[in-house]
Amino acid sequence: MNNRWKPNVTVAAVIERDFDGVRKFLLVEEETRDGLKLNNPAGHLDPGESPAQGCTRETLEETAFHFTPTALVGIYFSRFERAQAGQAESLDITYLRFAFSGELGEHVAGQPLDEGIVRSVWLSADEIRACADMHRSPLLLTCIEDYLAGSRYPLELITTDTSVLLLNK
């Protein structure tokens, strides 16, 4: 029996834009089994891609914006537990999140968004803090607060061996 622990690897984008002197962040509003929630553009890392490549892909899929990571904001661990209907044991998942900041590119008009994504929204840090009950994960605000505190690390901190990238070939 294999009891090897395997955290789910996710990537997230922390994207800021100035709207007439007000700093706002790009979030997604998505349908979850717990109702409508907010999150950073984020998702699971796919086989054959580096964390930065996964973040670029997820941002496009969830917001229809091109995004180029330029810095690592942080690496985060979180654990999620939820009761499962008809099951004695709860669902217990650990996430390992790589959060990036970077350059927002062009919007792709007409691009369909990932299933469950209702829309993308721009909110200020204060607006995000005020709606914590709508956050899909506590990491949403943690990543933004770290970004606001100036947390930026070079992308070279993450090494993706070519053997990983060859999975797509």
What are the structural domains of the chain?
8-168 (3.90.79.10)
Mean pLDDT of all residues belonging to the chain:
93
- CA torsion sign, 91 to 93 to 99 to 103? negative
CA 58 – CA 98 distance, rounded (Å): 12
Residue 67's CB is within 10 A of a number of other CB atoms, namely: 23
Average pLDDT over residues 62-91: 89
128 DSSP 8-state letter: H
Cα gap 61→48, rounded to integer Å: 17
Give the pLDDT score at 114. Answer: 95
* Tens-digit pLDDT profile for residues 18-74: 999 999 999 999 999 889 999 999 999 999 999 999 999 999 999 999 999 999 999
**Measuring CA to CA, how many Å separate 11 from each of 40, 73, 85?**
9, 11, 29
Asked whether residue 1 carries a pLDDT value surpassing 60, the answer given is no
The residues that bridge with 43 in the sheet, in sequence order, are 11
Q: How many Cα atoms are found within 13 Å in the side-chain-facing hemisphere of 76?
A: 23
